[in-house]
Amino acid sequence: MFAEIVEYARLANAAYDNRATIDKSISKYGYTLNHYASLPTLAVSYYLATHDDSQTQVIAVRGTSNVENALVDIAIQLVSGNDFGIALHNGFVVSAKGIYEDIKPKLNQHYKIKTTGHSLGGAVAVVLAMYLKNDGYAMERVITFGQPKVTNLTGSSKVNELDIWRVVTARDLVPLVPPLHMADLNNVNIYWHAGREIILLDGKQYSVTSGLESMLRATKFLTQTLSEKNLQHHKMAHYLALIEAKTSGAQYVPYKNDLSIFFPSW
């Protein structure tokens, strides 16, 4: 599992580099850089690369370099009226659609497609994968790192049509924003994660959660304020270090939520 995750992580990390450095970095994995671009009005950068031996293309979206702004940008109202008929974070939809329109002429319809990204780039990668799937592209697994929520409880069933692995660190606040409050458990319009959550613990240990168990992790951090210390847990360099430690002999441990609540009927 971690052999696949580490490749995605390095591809996502490369999106922070310039074109020449990206080309050099991804060539180690047999990829050829086809396209690198930015959407100035959206402050989004991304690249497309092709692996001809496996007949695969990857689209990697760069995350934000300003996490404080990212947390503010994430916590906005979900909106409907998009191409998927569900409530989604409008900024992620606009970014994903802009990338798709730019990159579509360069896609090989006979190849499989991967999307990945870190932070807000991961959220855009999920919505981008939805556009690709809707247009009939053969989608590989979507793996993101430190990805915030993109939809609500109702919309998560649509997003779950993709095979998504959300890799997070145990104390990264970005995937938990906005946090789930216990009073919101009957509210179908609250932000909600989709996919399988892989929690990177220290050393070789990791846990796996999904659904409500994943959402309840945020209750541990409701009283925390943003600081340089917890921002370190969101940086891609921190993710890479934890992932690379697990490429051999990774140890699964059950996640302990330490919460005892009465679950309402849905």
Averaged pLDDT for residues 14-32: 95
Residue 241 covered by a domain: yes
- Euclidean distance between CA atoms 99 and 60, whole angstroms: 11
Nearest Cα residue to 194 out of 72, 63, 92: 92
Q: How many domains does the chain have?
A: 1
- What domain range includes position 232? 2-252
Residue 98 covered by a domain: yes
Cβ neighbours around 52 below 10 Å, total: 12
Cβ neighbours around 138 below 10 Å, total: 13
For 156-188, what is each residue's pLDDT tens digit?
999 999 999 999 999 888 888 765 554 445 555
- Euclidean distance between CA atoms 104 and 126, whole angstroms: 16
For 78-134, what is each residue's pLDDT tens digit?
788 789 999 998 888 989 999 999 999 999 999 999 999 999 999 999 999 999 999
Residue 266 covered by a domain: no
- Euclidean distance between CA atoms 162 and 139, whole angstroms: 8
The CATH number of the domain holding residue 175 is: 3.40.50.1820
